[in-house]
Amino acid sequence: MSQDVPKTRWTRREVLGMLGVGATGLVLPALASAAAPTFLKGAVIRTVLKDYAPGDLSGSAVLFHEHMSLARDFLLRFDRYAADANAANGTPAPAPAPNDVSFMQDLDVMVDELTAAKREGIGCIVDGGHPDMGRNINFLRQLSIRSQMPIVAGAGLYTQPFYPNDVGSMTEDQIVRALVKQVDADPVGVFGEIGSWDYMTGEERKVFRAIGKAHLATNLPIFTHTGIPGKAALEQLDILEDTGVKPQRIVIGHLGNLIDPTVQIHKAICKRGAFVGFDRLGGPADEPQVPMVMALINAGFADNVLLSSDLARPNAIKRNGGPGYAKTLTVFLPKLRAAGASDEILRQIMIDNPRRFLAFVPMKRRPTT
């Protein structure tokens, strides 16, 4: 047995080989016998430029939770609210992190970043922002056109610290109407990220119920942001299911932060049919997450795992010396493979699972604006 130290970064050729994709984008015969997912008649994956048949995105990895458009002050506010929550809970504050997201207002920089991600094996990216986070859908359109990267835009409301002032006085049904208006106005393909800041507040529960009802009116899938470390995971799922959302349409996010080698909550979510999101990958926090993902795979829950990186910090982009938007593939997946995950399982998690999650049958025609 070789005593070489396992690689911690993959090349483009290695990534494409793992995914079963050649340089031309064709699926290689070695994985041709793998069971392909099935989709409802009329199901699409809605991006900012066009609707895709789910099979059209079967040749490359799909990232279910990233950020490519945020308000300039978003991370400044995020870090301030996080510091306030830590102080209230008596928990240590994390080390300061770079929080300048001006790169998300520079179209040339972002085109370079997504072009690089496409070269490294990414075929579609979900932007987890929406209006209360400062997401600019016209920017995403231009970015998709120039980079040739399909981008799925989100809709919804983020967490209580970011809610517009009038949300507190709105009824649940008024929030539902506002959410459906977002979907009618813009070509969004998912509700997400929809979150609770720490423990869920009454206002956040009201928004989650409204999101569930808006899903019933639109069929859009939902992915969430759980208070770190995943405190509201089961409550979020309970609320959405209670409004009538099928768990197969839900990702409970940020559960890589809920460090538990026995993955009890993760398994409970999977058993109910929902997806578990490990979506802060490709960095120093990978070490405890690898055995948790492997525990779910070994327990038979590979169908319920979704991976992404939630990229938002400037030190993560290639322009600043970081691994870039493909880091889930190039940094995290080699660690899973070294831990024993097969190429077929990795391909399922990175290509098939996110397409199953994102594919939906629209209730209305695609917005034309």
CATH number at residue 96: 3.20.20.140
- 364: in domain: no
Residue 4 has pLDDT above 60, yes or no: no
Residue 18 has pLDDT above 80, yes or no: no
**Residue 221 domain boundaries:** 44-358
pLDDT of residue 22: 43
Q: Is the peptide bond preceding residue 29 cis, with omega within 30 degrees of 0?
A: no
Q: Are strands 51-52 and 45-46 parallel, antiparallel or unpaired?
A: antiparallel
pLDDT of residue 31: 37
Please answer whether residues 157 and 194 qualify as being in contact, where contact means their C-beta atoms are separated by less than 8 angstroms.
yes
pLDDT in tens, 95-107: 889 999 999 999 9
pTM of the model: 0.92
Q: Tell me how crowded residue 39 is: count the other CB atoms within 10 A of its CB.
A: 17
Q: Is residue 5 very low, low, confident or very high in pLDDT (cuts 50, 70, 90)? A: very low
Q: Tell me how crowded residue 249 is: count the other CB atoms within 10 A of its CB.
A: 23
Residues 6+ apart with CB under 8 A from 180: 214, 217, 218
- 94: in domain: yes
pLDDT of residue 23: 37
Of the two residues 301 and 9, the one the predictor is more confident about is 301
pLDDT of residue 1: 31
pLDDT of residue 27: 32
pLDDT of residue 229: 81
Q: Is residue 297 very low, low, confident or very high in pLDDT (cuts 50, 70, 90)? A: very high
pLDDT in tens, 122-149: 999 999 999 999 999 999 999 999 999 9
pLDDT, mean of residues 201-224: 98
Residue 272 has pLDDT above 70, yes or no: yes
Strand partners, 126: 152
Q: Tell me how crowded residue 26 is: count the other CB atoms within 10 A of its CB.
A: 10
Please answer whether residues 303 and 273 qualify as being in contact, where contact means their C-beta atoms are separated by less than 8 angstroms.
no
- 5: in domain: no
Please compute Rg for the chain using Cα positions: 19
- 348: in domain: yes
pLDDT, mean of residues 87-92: 84
Residue 10 has pLDDT above 90, yes or no: no
pLDDT, mean of residues 89-114: 92
Residue 7 has pLDDT above 60, yes or no: no
Residue 266 has pLDDT above 90, yes or no: yes
Closest CA to 358 of 51, 36, 143, 15: 51
CA 192, CA 369: separation in Å to the nearest integer? 21
Q: Is residue 256 very low, low, confident or very high in pLDDT (cuts 50, 70, 90)? A: very high
For residue 268, what are its two tokens?
């409970």
Residue 29 has pLDDT above 60, yes or no: no
- 345: in domain: yes
- 24: in domain: no
pLDDT of residue 36: 82
Closest CA to 39 of 367, 353, 254: 353
Residue 6 has pLDDT above 90, yes or no: no
CA 331, CA 201: separation in Å to the nearest integer? 36
- 184: in domain: yes
- 285: in domain: yes
What total number of domains does the chain contain? 1
pLDDT, mean of residues 178-190: 97
